[in-house]
Amino acid sequence: MISVFTIFFLSNDINNKTDISRAMQENVKHIVETIAEDIRSNSGISIDTSWVACTSDPWEAWKICIGLNSYYLAQLAAGTYIRIEDISKCQEKNFSCILVKNSWDTQPLSNSWVEFENLEFTLFADTNPQKIQVNFTIRPSFQKWIKPTLIEENTFHFQTTLSKRIY
């Protein structure tokens, strides 16, 4: 019986690891594809420093506007996405940060299985074409009752550079 239970628990852990890894990869792929599509279809990139308009001074690296769309971290509270103004809160276990895209309405880019610890956009405006480097750290959500060891094992540190296509 002990060997049967051991095999059962090991196979259950492997299944959980596979599901978490797949969910993490799907989130990263969706986020990067959405931002890349926006960059390629719009004429400009700027760093968002206010709720309404996108300007370049003063600079905050974790908010960005691409065309009419803005990307930033938010927390879901009472059915509304509330913009995060202190990114250090995202590193707390009881505070869940998600990436949202705000155009005419606010929509999450990441699903409830992941949380953001960090997000940074670096704009290379002096290059032709303009480029943006995206850095973020995501982890499985603490609210999904995932074992802490699996959260630690599946924390992704991601970096990529995106630019408008030149034909």
Residue 43 neighbours by CB under 8 Å, 6+ apart: 67
CA distance 66 to 132: 10
Longest distance between any two alpha carbons in the chain, whole Å: 67
Q: Tens of pLDDT along the chain (167 residues)? A: 899 989 998 898 888 888 888 888 999 999 999 988 888 887 667 655 444 445 444 446 677 877 778 888 888 888 888 888 788 888 887 788 889 988 777 888 988 888 998 888 888 877 777 788 899 999 888 777 778 888 888 888 999 998 876 65
What is the identity of the amino acid at 72? Answer: Y
Q: Residue 44: its pLDDT value, please?
A: 62
Q: Residue 58: its pLDDT value, please?
A: 44
Determine if the pTM surpasses 0.85.
no
Cα 11 versus chain centre, distance? 30
